[in-house]
Structure 1
Amino acid sequence: MTGKDFHLDLPTCRRGAFAVPGDINTQTGGYRYDRKLVDGLRALGWDITLLQLGTSFPNPTSQDMRDAEKQLAALPEDCPVIIDGLALGAFDPAVLDAVNASIVALIHHPLARENGHSAEQRAHFLTSERQNLARAVHVLVPSPHTAKVLHADYDVSTSRITIARPGTDRPLSTGVKTDPPLILSVGIQVSRKGHDVLLKALARLTAHTWTAIIAGGAFDPDHAAELARLVNELGLSDRVKIVGAVSDETLSHLYGQASLFALATRYEGYGIVFDEAMVHGLPIVTCRVGAVPDTVAPDAGRLVPPDDPLAFAAALEDLLDNAHERREMASASARAGAALPTWDDTVKIVDETLLRVASTQVTKV
């Protein structure tokens, strides 16, 4: 099975569904993207039904799988459904075979690219994602990088892929920079975000004057405990705060106070936080992985190899020591941020994609 064949016809109405595992209000970049799409599509007149799937995805319990199957199977044929990749890649393909509605996959980044998987888990997700992407009539991705990965590794034709780069909210306030300089990192507490690398890098810079805040929910409790242990073990308790998930207002305030943005990520399918940092005019220190080189404007960031605390520390130290360079990068970052698309731009792309899907008479191959 290679998907669903279709020919164009005018849609009779704008109705669709959006399937998301867990709470769509969860504070991550991926869930924020999902929220913005749902709200934006509804503002354009779409009747969007939100399907809340179980919290156990991407490793679903049998109960959560049965519940998801029931919700998806109940959708009528003329109601296209966007399925978040956190769930789509974990489905038994037979579940999707029973769905009458046209499936639009939303892949922030492939599950097989998530850090921390065993070789067996990676192989499992690679197989299931490939099978399930073949059952989607179209695929939405946030970046050219993810589009290339899906084409090269998952056999998804480029004609079935639409890039809908995330939009960016403009700052709620300009903020006042702190003294000493604040180094801000934003990302959930999972291995892929590399906060452990950042902490080890900061431990090399104790002769310099700075403070640091890591904002992001503790999605992996074991890893969160390891980060807290590292803060104490490295003697950073007086200078580093791990504040967990914060509100959008608090996060905007932190961006306004910061002088540097630092994320030692091990992989990103996009990285909304980099856009947020650029909108706030922050110099960026991060890693040359995944979609990061295409997301961070060249003059706005210093990109180093992943899993290299020494290189990360050197990049931070250079900017802490060089106020002129920091100002130049901040200006470049602000210029890049001002040119970024809005969420209205993103929603328009998805709206046009759904209209094409909804304008079809669908038959399974």
Structure 2
Amino acid sequence: MNRDLFFAYPGDIETRTGGYGYDRRMIAALHDLGWNVEPISLGEGFPDPSMAQLANAGHILSELPDNALVLIDGLAFGIMDEWAAQESGRLKIVALVHHPLALETGLAPERRKALAARETKALAQARRVIVTSHATAAELAANYAVPTEKIAVAIPGMDPAPLSIAGGDPPLILSVGTLTHRKGHDVLIAALEKLRDLAWTCRIVGSKTLDPDVASALERQVARSSLGGRIELVGQIDDPRTEFSKADIFALASRYEGYGMVFAEALAQGLPIVGCATGAVPDVVPAGAGLLVPPDDPEAIAAALRRLLESPETRIAMADAAAIAGASLPSWRDTALVVSDALEAMP
């Protein structure tokens, strides 16, 4: 089989999010497996491009030769339904869906409905669909008319990492996630306000530039809380593994996750977890390794954190369970093998 692959993504592949991190690692790991991978940027604006930006992305892909195999990141592909309908007979299109666009937090009902309709039409043109979790696979089968036999689940890989040294005095709560509404940092901060009576510090690591309005609102929320000396909005860090290694608890109040790579990273470094039972998070975090509560519930997040802060024995037991679960996570080579097999089985 021809092992030439075009890997298309929106914007800048060096963007520090879990989705772009997955793309970077797939390109490298597929290359190591013998694929000739050519990365292609589809330009800026996604998932809300202007008409000109959308047309330019389509033009870039339409320049590919007949029968070219192209894997397209869903952040762009989900709204490229018209282009996909025009080119699916000429190109071998594979979609990579981190999570459906319509499940982004905060969308108006009309916008959500329109995105779901467009992504459904786009996915119908793909010969294979790669997803990063079993939860997303189930979502696409149930609500996006994607036959299960077209779906391959390639769970994100994990690099070996040192276990947390923990034992902070006061305990350090770590949260890692881009400062966007979906990541629920506002819920975490509201929960921390209910824990003034306990000793702790919190570092929230994540880019402030992808949604400056949310970042500014979080800064104001911290200022109003009078906890600015205990809560730090750190911003983006190129390698957050050093942050995990110094933390005692990992907490992220995401409103939805298509997978949640940072939860897997917390497991790999042996951190007890507080999160929300939404999307794929319950699939990633075993019951013994963390406490999962309903989304958008500061009281529940506060209660879970209080339990871990007040009971070092519980923290240690959950940290041990996390480390065991983390040791069983796939490597990036394992993930790339799933993708490679799916590509090789293309009709």
Normalised by the shorter chain, which TM-score bucket? Answer: over 0.9
1:131-181 CA distance string (max 9 Å, x none): 000010010001111001000100000000000011011116755643211
Compute the RMSD of aligned alpha carbons. 1.3
C-alpha distance in 1 between matches for 2:323 and 2:190: 29
Is contact 1:54–1:60 with CA below 8 Å preserved after alignment? no
Q: Which has the higher contact order (CA 8 A, sep 6+)?
A: 1
- % of aligned pairs identical? 47
Query: What does residue 163 of structure 1 align with?
Result: 153
Query: What does residue 7 of structure 1 align with?
Result: none
**Alpha-carbon distance, 1:43 to partner:** 1.4
**Alpha-carbon distance, 1:78 to partner:** 3.3
Is contact 1:319–1:326 with CA below 8 Å preserved after alignment? yes
1:240 aligned onto 2:231: yes
Q: Which amino acid aligns with 1:230?
A: Q
Distance change (3 Å), C-alpha of 1:185 and 1:114: same
Query: What does residue 20 of structure 2 align with?
Result: 31
Describe the SS at the equivalent of 2:48.
Answer: coil
Is contact 1:173–1:252 with CA below 8 Å preserved after alignment? no
Query: What does residue 288 of structure 1 align with?
Result: 277
Matches within 5 A, 1:91-240: 91-98=80-87, 100-171=90-161, 175=165, 177-218=167-208, 219-240=210-231
Q: Which amino acid aligns with 2:106?
A: G
Q: Which amino acid aligns with 1:240?
A: I
**Alpha-carbon distance, 1:62 to partner:** 2.1
Is contact 2:290–2:318 with CA below 8 Å preserved after alignment? yes
Distance change (3 Å), C-alpha of 1:242 and 1:96: farther
**Which of the residues 316, 340, 355 maps onto 2:305?**
316
C-alpha distance in 1 between matches for 2:21 and 2:73: 12
Is contact 1:86–1:111 with CA below 8 Å preserved after alignment? yes
Describe the SS at the equivalent of 2:174.
Answer: strand
**Alpha-carbon distance, 1:92 to partner:** 4.2
Describe the SS at the equivalent of 2:65.
Answer: coil
Distance change (3 Å), C-alpha of 1:96 and 1:224: farther
1:63 aligned onto 2:78: no
**Alpha-carbon distance, 1:66 to partner:** 2.0
Is contact 2:162–2:269 with CA below 8 Å preserved after alignment? no
C-alpha distance in 2 between matches for 1:14 and 1:327: 47
Matches within 5 A, 1:252-263: 252-263=241-252
**Alpha-carbon distance, 1:119 to partner:** 0.8
1:53 aligned onto 2:39: no
When structure 1 is superposed on structure 2, of 84-93 and 281-290 the one drifting more is: 84-93
Query: What does residue 274 of structure 1 align with?
Result: 263
Is contact 1:210–1:239 with CA below 8 Å preserved after alignment? yes
**Alpha-carbon distance, 1:98 to partner:** 2.7
Q: Which amino acid aligns with 2:178?
A: I
**Alpha-carbon distance, 1:77 to partner:** 2.8
When structure 1 is superposed on structure 2, of 216-225 and 88-97 the one drifting more is: 88-97
C-alpha distance in 2 between matches for 1:149 and 1:241: 36
1:26-80 CA distance string (max 9 Å, x none): 1111111110100111112211111101220111112221221111111123321
* Total equivalences in the alignment: 345
Describe the SS at the equivalent of 1:205.
Answer: coil
Describe the SS at the equivalent of 2:125.
Answer: coil
Describe the SS at the equivalent of 2:114.
Answer: helix
Structure 1 length normalisation: TM-score? 0.92
Distance change (3 Å), C-alpha of 1:213 and 1:96: farther
Distance change (3 Å), C-alpha of 1:166 and 1:152: same
Describe the SS at the equivalent of 2:194.
Answer: helix
1:83 aligned onto 2:79: no
**Alpha-carbon distance, 1:94 to partner:** 3.5
Describe the SS at the equivalent of 1:116.
Answer: coil
Q: Return 5+ residue gaps in structure 2 as ranges.
A: none
Describe the SS at the equivalent of 1:54.
Answer: coil
Runs of 4+ in 1 over 6 A off after TM superposition: none
Structure 2 length normalisation: TM-score? 0.97
Is contact 2:124–2:146 with CA below 8 Å preserved after alignment? yes
Distance change (3 Å), C-alpha of 1:108 and 1:116: same
C-alpha distance in 2 between matches for 1:142 and 1:276: 15
C-alpha distance in 1 between matches for 2:254 and 2:309: 20
Is contact 2:70–2:93 with CA below 8 Å preserved after alignment? yes
Describe the SS at the equivalent of 1:285.
Answer: strand
**Alpha-carbon distance, 1:194 to partner:** 0.3
Distance change (3 Å), C-alpha of 1:173 and 1:324: closer
